[in-house]
Structure 1
């Protein structure tokens, strides 16, 4: 299977330059200077960049995504793209750790019962539990963050066990 067969949208070099408001020369400088910048795919002797790979690169850099609504400009992303519940739990746990607060302090800040953050962060383990509609906004509020939904260039892949079920 070739890269172009992944059902992704590929952008020609000019569209990538327009996306970031840069010249071709700057694009190639970025590519040389940043080993995390997506590699182009060659299709009929022309170079194209995966829009999905560009979005992932943007998320890791914490910069402004030019496709986001202007109301989000200036807000700092605190995670990469989240497509599964365990990624959400990991991102919220990482956020708590970066803020330097304990799970008990988060319980107090958010108004959750003492020990509840620990149960949420250990989802899938015997002592863990999921969250419901009452707890979700408390957890986010205690961490001073919110969730933003974005269109992904393609549907996230399912895990093997999901596909077998």
Structure 2
């Protein structure tokens, strides 16, 4: 059962074993290795940061996921984004870092007034998701692009995403 805490996803022992296709005993051996990401205890259960696991997995394969030249020399401004909420969070953080309001973002991007706020609050009644016309406007207004990178793991199962409890 995966959980989300502070905008970061955590996987329980079963999820980690399934992700790597290993037995629990193998995971316990890996946990003794100092290079393996440490776990955190949440409600008396052990969880692992999905981002830390992805980095460990990439390093183990001889790749450093944090090298800027992996992005053609462009400065990365977020970590790995694996879902829509993570994307929205990264966009809100970028706007905040730039020191602009959502109204100013609307003006810079050419979006209708108030639309950035709706995009940032998509899960609420007044919120909206984005479509093919709005996506390039939102990215352009924040001067960012989206880069796809291969993550060496299996994709999440849809049924797991529906049961994600919030901490």
**TM band (smaller chain):** 0.5 to 0.7
Q: How does 1:6-45 map to 2 (within 5 A)?
A: 6-8=18-20, 42=29
The structure-2 alpha-carbon separation of the partners of 1:46 and 1:140, relative to structure 1 and needing over 3 Å to count, comes to closer
| Distance apart, 1:94 and its partner CA | 0.7
CA separation in 2, counterparts of 1:87 and 1:160? Answer: 17
The structure-2 alpha-carbon separation of the partners of 1:2 and 1:111, relative to structure 1 and needing over 3 Å to count, comes to closer
Which is greater in Rg? 1
What's the TM-score once normalised by structure 1's chain length? 0.61
The structure-2 alpha-carbon separation of the partners of 1:5 and 1:134, relative to structure 1 and needing over 3 Å to count, comes to same
The structure-2 alpha-carbon separation of the partners of 1:137 and 1:73, relative to structure 1 and needing over 3 Å to count, comes to same
CA separation in 2, counterparts of 1:55 and 1:108? Answer: 42
What's the TM-score once normalised by structure 2's chain length? 0.60
Corresponding position of 2:67: 64
Gapped regions of structure 1 (runs ≥ 5): 10-39
Gapped regions of structure 2 (runs ≥ 5): 1-12, 22-26, 38-52, 60-64
Q: Deviations over 1:62-96 (max 9, x none)?
A: 94167x3xxx2321111111111111111101100
Corresponding position of 1:81: 80
Corresponding position of 1:30: none
Aligned Cα root-mean-square deviation (Å): 3.7
SS in 2 for 1:131: coil
For these two proteins, the number of residue pairs brought into alignment is 126
Corresponding position of 1:54: 56
CA separation in 1, counterparts of 2:85 and 2:18? Answer: 25
Q: How does 1:88-99 map to 2 (within 5 A)?
A: 88-99=87-98
Corresponding position of 1:139: 138
Q: Is the 8 A contact 2:95 2:142 kept in 1?
A: yes
Structure number with higher relative contact order (C-alpha < 8 Å, ≥ 6 residues apart): 2
The structure-2 alpha-carbon separation of the partners of 1:56 and 1:127, relative to structure 1 and needing over 3 Å to count, comes to farther
